[in-house]
Chain A
C-alpha cells in the first residue's frame, strides 16, 4: 500500500483540523475514524478559556490562559501560537462561507442555553449571541409544537433571573405541521432544521413568527436554523422579522455541532484528506523510537497503515482513546503511551460534582513536549514522529475551564506545525 505522509487517527474536531492543516500544505493525509467525535455534544462552539482557576470567569481568554499552571497544554503551547491557531480556524470558516467570530483578546462571549443559563465561549457562529438580550426590551422565546428536549418556560425562568424582570418575556410556539409524528416518534431539532432548510418551511416559519413578533425585539430559538453551515436561514429570518436572533445550546444531538462537522468534512475533502470510516486503530509498529505503521482491525483481518508522521486525536476517555481498567490504571491502546495518573485513590474525584475546583480525574491524560510528542516521566520524548492532540492530553479540565475545543484546535495546529517542520 502507498505510504502516507501523515496518518491522523481520530475524526473529531482535533483530528479533522490537524488533517486539514497538513493537507493544506500539500501533504498526503489519511484519516482513520471510528465514531463521530463530540460535535453533537459541544454545540459547534470553540470554547477557549473562561474559568482558569475557580468559578469566577476571566475577562478575556488570553487573560485566563496567562493564569494557568505550567502543566496546562496552553502553557506549553504559548499565547502567540494560540493566536495563530485561532486565526487559522477563523480563516477556514471564512473560506467555507460560514464565518465564525471571536478572538483570544476580546471579552468572553456569553451564549444562552436551553436551561436559561449563560455560558461563556471563545469562537462562535453568528447564530449564537447573548449580547442581544442585554438591551432588548422584549425577548421572544420560540418553541416548536411537538419538539422534544425543549422547555421554553424553564429557559424563560432562568433568563429572567439573569437579565431581570423588567424585560418583557414572551413564549411563541411555531407549528411545523408534524402532527402525524407527535406521540409516534421523537421530533428533534434536526427535524425542524430540515423543515427550515426548505424554502417553504423557512417561509412558513417566518410567516407564523411575523404574525406575533414585533420588530426591534430579541428572539431566542432552539438550534433549528438549518442543517448546513450556511447563514441563509439566519439572515432571512433576521431581515424579515427585523429582530436580533440567537440560538440556544441544548442537550445532544446539537444541530450547530453538526453544521461545524459538515463544514470541516467539506474542507478536508477539498484538500484531499482521505477519510477511512469505521477504522478502529488497535496497535502500532514501533522501531527505534519511531512509529512505522498503525494497525487497524477489520472484520477478520488486520490492515496496516504506513506513514512518516502520526497524529493521535482519539478523544481521551470519552472517545476511547484512553481507557482506565481500574482506578489505579490508565492505558492508551494504540501506542501504549504512559497515562498520567498522579492523583491518589481517594483524591481522584472531588467530593462534589460541581464545585470551585477542577476535577482531578478530568486532568488525566498523556503528557507531551511543546511539539506535542509524548514524553515519559523524566520528560524524554517517547516517539519522535507521533503527536498527541485534544482530549488525550493531560493537565486540563475542559468542562470546568470551558476550554475543550480550544485545546483541541491549538494542539492540532501545533501537531500540524511540528509535522511540517520535523524532518
Chain B
C-alpha cells in the first residue's frame, strides 16, 4: 500500500524541522523528507549566532525586529541550545562614524537594547579585543547550537506524532486537476523510487528550494550564496563580537564552548552543493578578523567550513548582501497548483517564526483551527536530577552536562543502561568530545543513522581537536562489532568519514593542522593502507 501523510515537509534544515514540530503540535499528520542526513545543509554551516537584530537594524528594520523578538523566545524555549553570551558591536577607526549614529537610532526603532560602554571597560572584559576600538555597544546576541536545536525540534515533533525520513530525495511532484496528490521519492542508498500520497507539500529546502519547486514545474528563484567560516580551537572572547559598520565579510566572531567561529564570506554560486572552503577565503577572513583581534594568527584553526545562504528575490538581478534577509511564503495556488507552498529566504534566528507563518497557512488550508504553541512550549524538558546523578556514576565527570543536553532524557537513560550492563561500553571512543562507546552504539541503532557521519552529527564524535584521527577507527569498529549497520563496507566508510573531515582541513594545512594531518595520514594511509585497499576495489 502506498505510504501517505497529510502534509509533507521537504527539507531537514532549521525551517523544515520547525514546521514539522509546529504542525505536529497542532495535531496535523506530518512527515518530513530530507535528501541526505538531517541538518547537513545550511543550518549546520553558519556562525551559530542567535542574532540580536543589530546586524539588520539599519538596512532591514523588519528583519531586525523579527530577530530581537525571536531571540527572546528561543532563549526560553531552547535554553539547552543557547549560550547567553551577549555581544559587542565594535567600531574601529576604519569604520564610518556616521553609520554609528544611524545604527543607534535604528536599534531604538526596533526596540533593541544597545547599551554603550567605555572601550576601556570592553578591553578589560575582553582582553583579546583590539585597543583601536573607538566605540563599543552591548547587545543581547547569543550563541546557538544549530545541530542540537534541530534534533530537539525533531524529538519534540516525534512525541507529537511527526515522522522523519532521511536520505529520501524528491524526484517528482504529481497533481490531478491542479491539486497536489503524490510525490515520487528516491532512496539515496538503494536508488529505489516510490510514491508517497499527500494533501499538501511544504517546500522548505533552503538553497535547494528552486530544485524542489522544479519537480512541480514551478519556477522559484533562490540564489545560493556561499559563505565560508573559520572555527578556531580556542575561545577567543567571552562574547559575540560584531564590527559596527555596514554588514560586510569576516566581521563577526561567535564563541561556542571552547571554540570560536569567524565569518563569513559572500559569493554568488551556481550550486548550493559548492561548499569546499578555499585557502584564499580563509586568508581573506583572517586578514579582516585580525583588525578586531590582532593576535588572531597565533591561534590554532580547527577547520574551515562553508554553507550556502538561501537568498530569495523576486528580482533576479539582486545578489549577495544586497538581498533582503527577510523571508517570504509563496502559495503556489497562485501559480495554478493547489496544495503546494514554498518558504524562501530568512535566517536561522527566525526559523521558528517562519515555521509559524507557514504552519498557519497550511492549517488554514486544512481547516485546522489549532493555535501555534511553539513560542511557549520548551523544546525539551530538563533532565531529572536523579538521572543526572546516575549518569555521573559512569560518565567522565565533565561529560555529563554535555551529554545530557545533547541526548535528552530518554536517550540519556538508554545510554546509562548500556553502561551499566556492559562496563566495556564506558570507554571513550572520542576523547576530544567525550563520547563513550555506549553513546555511539545508542545513536548508531537509530533508524536515521546510515553512515559514520550521521553518528558524528548527533554525538559530535570526530568534531574535536583531533578531527577523527582516533575515533574514526573506534566508531567503525564498534558499528561492525555489533552488526549495527549490516553489510557495511568499513574501508569505504572510514575513507568517506575522513574525507568529510579533510574537506575542512585541506584549506588550513599549516601550523598544528599540518602536524595533525601527518598523524592522521600516518594511521589511516601508512598503517591501515586505506588508500591501497582502494586499488583492490578497482581490480
B532–A325 CB distance below 8 A: no
A353–B522 CB distance below 8 A: no
A118–B529 CB distance below 8 A: yes
A120–B527 CB distance below 8 A: no
Given contacts A154-B480, A183-B423, contact A117 B491 (CB under 8 A): yes
**Which single member of A57, A113, A120, A151 contacts B480 (CB below 8 Å)?**
A151
Closest to B535 in A: A55
Closest to A162 in B: B536
Check B76 for interface membership: any CB of A closer than 8 A: no
A120 partner residues in chain B, CB cutoff 8 A: 529, 532
B523–A354 CB distance below 8 A: no
Residue interface bits A349-386, CB-to-B below 8 A is 1, else 0: 11111111001011000000000000000000000000
Residue interface bits B494-534, CB-to-A below 8 A is 1, else 0: 11001100100011111100110111011111111111111
**Which single member of B419, B428, B473 contacts A251 (CB below 8 Å)?**
B473
Task: Tell me which of A186, A349, A356, A362 has the highest count of chain B C-beta atoms within 10 A of its own C-beta.
Answer: A349
Check B258 for interface membership: any CB of A closer than 8 A: no
Q: Which stretch of A18-26, A193-201, A313-321 is in the interface? A: A313-321
Main DSSP-derived SS at the B contact region: helix
Q: Which stretch of A84-92, A93-101, A258-266, A395-403 is in the interface? A: A395-403
Check A51 for interface membership: any CB of B closer than 8 A: yes
Check B65 for interface membership: any CB of A closer than 8 A: no
Check B361 for interface membership: any CB of A closer than 8 A: no
Bound: A250/B473 CA distance, A: 9
Closest to B526 in A: A399
B490–A158 CB distance below 8 A: yes
Closest to B517 in A: A361
Check B134 for interface membership: any CB of A closer than 8 A: no
A41–B423 CB distance below 8 A: no
A42 partner residues in chain B, CB cutoff 8 A: 522, 526-527
**Which single member of B278, B426, B530 contacts A183 (CB below 8 Å)?**
B426
**Distance to closest chain B CB from A403 (angstroms):** 9
Check B104 for interface membership: any CB of A closer than 8 A: no
Closest to B278 in A: A346
Bound: A194/B507 CA distance, A: 43
B481 partner residues in chain A, CB cutoff 8 A: 151-154
**Distance to closest chain A CB from B286 (angstroms):** 9
B509–A55 CB distance below 8 A: no
A117–B529 CB distance below 8 A: yes
Bound: A400/B509 CA distance, A: 17
**Distance to closest chain A CB from B438 (angstroms):** 11
A190 partner residues in chain B, CB cutoff 8 A: none
Given contacts A115-B490, A361-B514, contact A151 B532 (CB under 8 A): no
Closest to B427 in A: A148
Check A323 for interface membership: any CB of B closer than 8 A: yes
A151–B478 CB distance below 8 A: yes
B279–A47 CB distance below 8 A: no
B490–A353 CB distance below 8 A: no
Residue interface bits B276-297, CB-to-A below 8 A is 1, else 0: 1011100100000000000001
Bound: A342/B535 CA distance, A: 29
Residue interface bits A32-61, CB-to-B below 8 A is 1, else 0: 000000100111000100110001110000
A115–B526 CB distance below 8 A: no
Bound: A153/B510 CA distance, A: 37
**Distance to closest chain B CB from A239 (angstroms):** 29
A276 partner residues in chain B, CB cutoff 8 A: none
Check A139 for interface membership: any CB of B closer than 8 A: no
Bound: A356/B533 CA distance, A: 12
Closest to A359 in B: B521
Check A404 for interface membership: any CB of B closer than 8 A: yes
A346 partner residues in chain B, CB cutoff 8 A: 278-280
**Distance to closest chain B CB from A350 (angstroms):** 8
**Distance to closest chain B CB from A328 (angstroms):** 9
Check B476 for interface membership: any CB of A closer than 8 A: yes
Check B167 for interface membership: any CB of A closer than 8 A: no
Check B474 for interface membership: any CB of A closer than 8 A: yes
A404 partner residues in chain B, CB cutoff 8 A: 522, 526
Given contacts A55-B532, A117-B528, contact A317 B279 (CB under 8 A): no
**Distance to closest chain B CB from A36 (angstroms):** 13
Bound: A316/B279 CA distance, A: 22
Q: Which of A146-177 contact B (CB under 8 A)?
A: 146, 148-154, 157-158, 162
**Distance to closest chain A CB from B423 (angstroms):** 3
**Which single member of B419, B470, B508, B533 contacts A117 (CB below 8 Å)?**
B533
Closest to B477 in A: A151
**Which single member of A56, A150, A326, A402 contacts B297 (CB below 8 Å)?**
A326
B473 partner residues in chain A, CB cutoff 8 A: 114-115, 149, 251
Check B424 for interface membership: any CB of A closer than 8 A: yes
Check A252 for interface membership: any CB of B closer than 8 A: yes
A354–B423 CB distance below 8 A: no
Bound: A261/B534 CA distance, A: 31
**Which single member of B276, B518, B521 contacts A351 (CB below 8 Å)?**
B276
A47–B533 CB distance below 8 A: no
Given contacts A117-B491, A398-B526, contact A348 B509 (CB under 8 A): yes
Given contacts A50-B532, A324-B514, contact A146 B424 (CB under 8 A): yes
Check A312 for interface membership: any CB of B closer than 8 A: no
Bound: A402/B521 CA distance, A: 11
**Which single member of B477, B498, B508, B519 contacts A318 (CB below 8 Å)?**
B519
Check A249 for interface membership: any CB of B closer than 8 A: yes
B507 partner residues in chain A, CB cutoff 8 A: 349
B280–A349 CB distance below 8 A: no
A402 partner residues in chain B, CB cutoff 8 A: 526, 529, 532
Q: Which of B393-424 contact A (CB under 8 A)?
A: 394, 419, 423-424
Can you give 28 A-B contacts (C-beta < 8 A)?
A38-B522, A41-B526, A42-B522, A55-B535, A56-B535, A114-B528, A115-B494, A117-B528, A117-B530, A117-B532, A119-B529, A151-B480, A151-B481, A153-B477, A153-B480, A154-B480, A154-B481, A158-B533, A251-B470, A251-B527, A318-B515, A326-B510, A329-B510, A345-B283, A351-B506, A353-B499, A356-B535, A399-B522
Q: Which 10 A-B pairs have the closest CB atoms?
A: A183-B423, A151-B477, A154-B480, A119-B529, A399-B526, A318-B518, A353-B502, A399-B525, A324-B510, A349-B506
Known pairs A115-B490, A154-B480, A158-B491 / 9 extra A-B pairs, C-beta < 8 Å: A38-B522, A117-B532, A118-B533, A186-B427, A317-B515, A345-B279, A345-B283, A353-B499, A399-B521
